[in-house]
Amino acid sequence: MKRFVPLVLMALLAVSCGIYSFTGTSIQADVNTITIPYVEYKALLVNPSLSADMTEALQEKFRKLTRLEQVDVDGDLELVCEITGYDVKAVAVTADEQPAQNRLTVTVKIDFSNKKYPEDDVTNKSFSAYEDFDSALSLDAVQGTLCETIVEKLVEDIFNATVAQW
């Protein structure tokens, strides 16, 4: 019991300082706002809803897991994202050299700036996530489900790299 009390006190002290939280973020106490502009789409292969889905997912993640107020401009933090890749490639081939599996890969580049603590900036960093699907299915038939899973993975990676600093 005597060992447990100091651990609890240290945890409470860390949380009360505003640096760490039980959601896994490490946001300083004087950082109060974030700007997440619309995700630009710069990939060659077009998915018309991916920018909106990615923007919404990022905003929702920060809304749910941080205390930050989202503002349209001049936030203490700013997360600018662009989709730079949206590609489909064969990843598994049958014995007669026909594709058995295809892989949809989405690549996103971010620039994250912290106006109060520039040492926390993450600039020009790329993240990729993919999902495989049966080549007998068309991309149109599966891209909604695949993109939903890919966006979840990308948002988690971006969140961890920016405010969770993993």
Residue 157 in domain? yes
Residue 24 in domain? no
Residues spanned by the domain of 80: 32-162
The angle that helices 50-65 and 139-162 make with each other, rounded to 10 degrees, is 40
pLDDT in tens, 60-93: 999 999 999 999 999 999 999 999 999 999 998 7
State what percent of residues in the chain have pLDDT above 90.
75
For the record, the structure tokens of 38 come out as: 């619309």
The CATH number given to whatever domain includes residue 139 is 3.30.160.150
The gap from C-alpha 49 to its chain's centroid, in whole angstroms, comes to 17
Residue 158 in domain? yes
Beta carbons of 37 and 80 less than 8 angstroms apart: yes
Number of domains in the chain: 1
pTM: 0.83
Bridge partners of residue 104, in order along the sequence: 88, 131
User: How far, in Å, CA of 146 to CA of 106, rounded?
Assistant: 10
Widest CA span of the chain, in angstroms? 68
Residue 56 in domain? yes
Examine the pLDDT at 9 and tell me if it is beyond 50: no
Could you tell me the pLDDT band of residue 29, with boundaries at 50, 70 and 90?
very high
Residue 14 in domain? no
